[in-house]
Amino acid sequence: MSDLDPVKAESRIFPPPAAFAADATISGMDAYYALCAEAEQDYEGFWARLARENLHWYKPFSTTLDETQAPLYKWFEDGLLNVSYNCLDVNLQKGLGDKVALVFEADGGEVTKVSYTELHQKVCQFANGLKSLGVGKGDRVVIYMPMSVEGVVAMQACARIGATHSVVFGGFSAKSLQERIVDVGAVMVITADQQVRGGKHLPLKAIVDEALALGDCQKVRNVVVYQRTGGEVTMAGGRDRWMHDLVAGQSAVCEPEWVSAEHPLFILYTSGSTGKPKGVQHSSGGYLLWAMLTMKWTFDIKPNDVFWCTADIGWVTGHTYITYGPLAVGATEIVFEGIPTYPNAGRFWDMIQKHKATIFYTAPTAIRSLIKAADGDATIHPNKYDLSSLRLLGSVGEPINPEAWMWYYKNIGGEKCPVVDTFWQTETGGHMMTPLPGATPLVPGSCTLALPGIMAAIVDETGHDLPNGQGGILVVKRPWPSMIRTIWGDDERFKKSYFPEEFGGKVYLAGDGAIRNKDTGYFTITGRIDDVLNVSGHRMGTMEIESALVAHPMVAEAAVVGKPDETTGESICAFVVLKRSRPTGDEAKQIATELRNWVAKEIGPIAKPKEIRFGDNLPKTRSGKIMRRLLRVLAKGEEITQDISTLENPAILEQLKQAL
């Protein structure tokens, strides 16, 4: 465990601007500490108060936290509510019907605005359409859609009728999609004819057809297709329906299905260190509560804000900070289709200017790539745009390096917007550690402190607390309302993965390493401690990529490691042993290309290794274990200084040093 404190060297501190703090939901550190103290003194009372104050309950809950089957914790279980009702109807009752809910900008720049009244109507009609196809409470629906108003409508409509959605990112392959459809037992897939990214039309419906043809999907009765481009698709009679046909003539009234707070709102697959992706199951009540609270606390959301989270609905960030959080607090939000670099790398700045965004939330990878682009082309430099509407910036998904943080702060925020570096995970449902913009003094590269009620700590391998200044393993010591409930269909795997016995079975293991600053107690995330990679903020398991590689008929063995990358944070580097002799030169390049495309087909283009190296063998211990730590050093192009006395075949290192 490293004893090096990366934040110690960082002396820049940015206290909240006085005007921001004066008006903030949580104003000043005393207000933050008061909330923390309330949670410490009466943990359940704290959460119960917030759940009563923030959510609409059809039937109030009588118990707050049920720990009898820990770690299968239950929150507000006998309370009944509906998530879509809380996101839509509640706002209509507050008189926000005419307020713009969604400002959607398509890849080509066309803008569609949808008011709360209109969104409510669309959701109800689609919900009625789903019901007409026999979808109901407890059914699972897979959503494989582009960024669109319809994508948000589809998720909300599922929530309205108590169906559990599982969104699959549009960049996953037919095989990945099929695995998720099968694992979740979906009765329906909602998709689009195509998606549009950077002017290119890419198939979605055709991939769904391919996925369903792979087998074991007989539970899928219907495929509903949103017509995005009008591109050619094959519609299977009886099974496939156009979304517009399905909603035509449907009533705009749909009584919500009142469900228990513990009812699974969604299942979202994410990568773990071993085996196949895990279906992270989230609740309705606790999840929505945290989505709302973090909108208020972290984003200090106000009635006049124009909130923009650039994530895709295929990831958890898009769930919590596009589909649910912003709507639950009655905000106006921007939703965009496409990529940050099309029609040029000024797209984000242009959209902030055009739509007068006040809060902007994006990923470090995007920031780093736009820094590069702005350096190369002065015409799309952010200083060419009017970004004065902004009052708050956020970062998510991966560590933000201090240089990128400073650029973001200066060039996008004009040195007047706080930057909230939000640490969280698919499993946590919402932010865990983050500055509060009207309270926390900011330090570039640190996600600062845990939110009130989140009992984060750093421990050693035996679960004992470590003092500040000493790097260790990040854990959360008490359950919190928006936490993962289980891994879909696999309670045992859930317990083993997140509440391992080595730590007493009672603390949540995040899977990240972290360190707290000696003086401030600020957290800095030092990276995953398992075999999970973070490439451009996308989580990927090394084992998943290795399994994909060895599934290729030519491959005998493969080991995948992460390599630090200036833009994407990490990149994928694969060491491969073929069944035939080691290829060299052009032939090696050719095979590498074939293998990269193979991985794209097996998992999705996001999992393509950036680099592939071939060897006659892999570095192994005498007991046959692959020494990944050596491969990480080789990938970086560094000299091996570690002890290699347990290595069976040291000569192999020389061979694997060379990149193609």
Report CA torsion sign: 605, 609, 615, 618.
negative
Of 297, 308, 423, 488, the one binding ligand WTA (CB under 6 A) is: 423
Which string of x and - marks every residue 297-336 that binds ligand WTA (by CB under 6 A)?
Answer: ------------------xxx-------------------
Smallest gap from residue 272 Cβ to ligand WTA (A): 10
Considering only 143-151, 418-426, 546-554, 557-565, which stretch makes contact with ligand WTA by CB under 6 A? Answer: 418-426
Smallest gap from residue 532 Cβ to ligand WTA (A): 7
DSSP reduced 3-state for 299: coil
Q: Is 550 annotated as a binding residue?
A: yes
Is 398 one of the binding residues for ligand WTA (CB under 6 A)?
yes
Is 542 one of the binding residues for ligand WTA (CB under 6 A)?
no
Is 367 one of the binding residues for ligand WTA (CB under 6 A)?
no
Considering only 107-115, 397-405, 592-600, 651-659, which stretch makes contact with ligand WTA by CB under 6 A? Answer: 397-405
On whether the CB atoms of residues 619 and 653 are closer than 8 A, the answer is: yes
How many residues appear in the chain? 660
Smallest gap from residue 533 Cβ to ligand WTA (A): 10
Smallest gap from residue 395 Cβ to ligand WTA (A): 6
Q: Is 528 annotated as a binding residue?
A: yes
Is 482 one of the binding residues for ligand WTA (CB under 6 A)?
no
Hey, which bits of 477-623 come out as E strands?
Answer: 486-487, 508-516, 523-528, 532-535, 538-541, 555-565, 569-578, 611-614
The region, left, alpha or beta by phi > 0 then psi within -120 to 50, assigned to residue 415 is left
Is 247 one of the binding residues for ligand WTA (CB under 6 A)?
no
Q: Is 397 annotated as a binding residue?
A: yes
For residues 240 and 221, what is the distance between their CA atoms, to the nearest angstrom?
9
Q: Which of 647, 548, 656 is nearest to 172 (CA)?
A: 548
Of 447, 449, 630, 656, the one binding ligand WTA (CB under 6 A) is: 447
Q: Is 56 annotated as a binding residue?
A: no
State the DSSP string of 103-152: EEE-TTS-EEEEEHHHHHHHHHHHHHHHHHTT--TT-EEEEE--SSHHHH
Smallest gap from residue 364 Cβ to ligand WTA (A): 8
CA 47: distance to chain centroid?
A: 24
Q: Considering CB under 6 A, how many residues would be counted as binding ligand WTA?
A: 21
Is 396 one of the binding residues for ligand WTA (CB under 6 A)?
yes
Exposed/middle/buried for residue 52 (C-beta within 10 Å: 0-12, 13-18, 19+): middle
Considering only 74-82, 239-247, 407-415, 423-431, which stretch makes contact with ligand WTA by CB under 6 A? Answer: 423-431
Of 25, 166, 534, 542, the one binding ligand WTA (CB under 6 A) is: 534
**Which residues, in sequence order, are bridge partners of residue 241?**
224
Of 191, 425, 517, 536, the one binding ligand WTA (CB under 6 A) is: 425
Is 421 one of the binding residues for ligand WTA (CB under 6 A)?
yes
Exposed/middle/buried for residue 192 (C-beta within 10 Å: 0-12, 13-18, 19+): buried
Smallest gap from residue 510 Cβ to ligand WTA (A): 6
Going from the C-alpha of 394 to that of each of 184, 264, 383, 524, the distances in angstroms are 32, 28, 19, 16
State the DSSP string of 64-106: SEE-TTTTS-EESTT-EE-HHIIIIIHHHHTT-TTSEEEEEE-
* Residue closer to ligand WTA, measured from CB, 272 or 609: 272
For residues 249 and 118, what is the distance between their CA atoms, to the nearest angstrom?
15
Q: Is 539 annotated as a binding residue?
A: yes
Is 443 one of the binding residues for ligand WTA (CB under 6 A)?
no
Q: Is 471 annotated as a binding residue?
A: no
The contact set with ligand WTA (CB under 6 A) reads 270, 315-317, 396-399, 421-426, 447, 511-512, 525, 528, 534, 539
Residues placed in the known binding site for Mg(2+)? 550, 552, 555
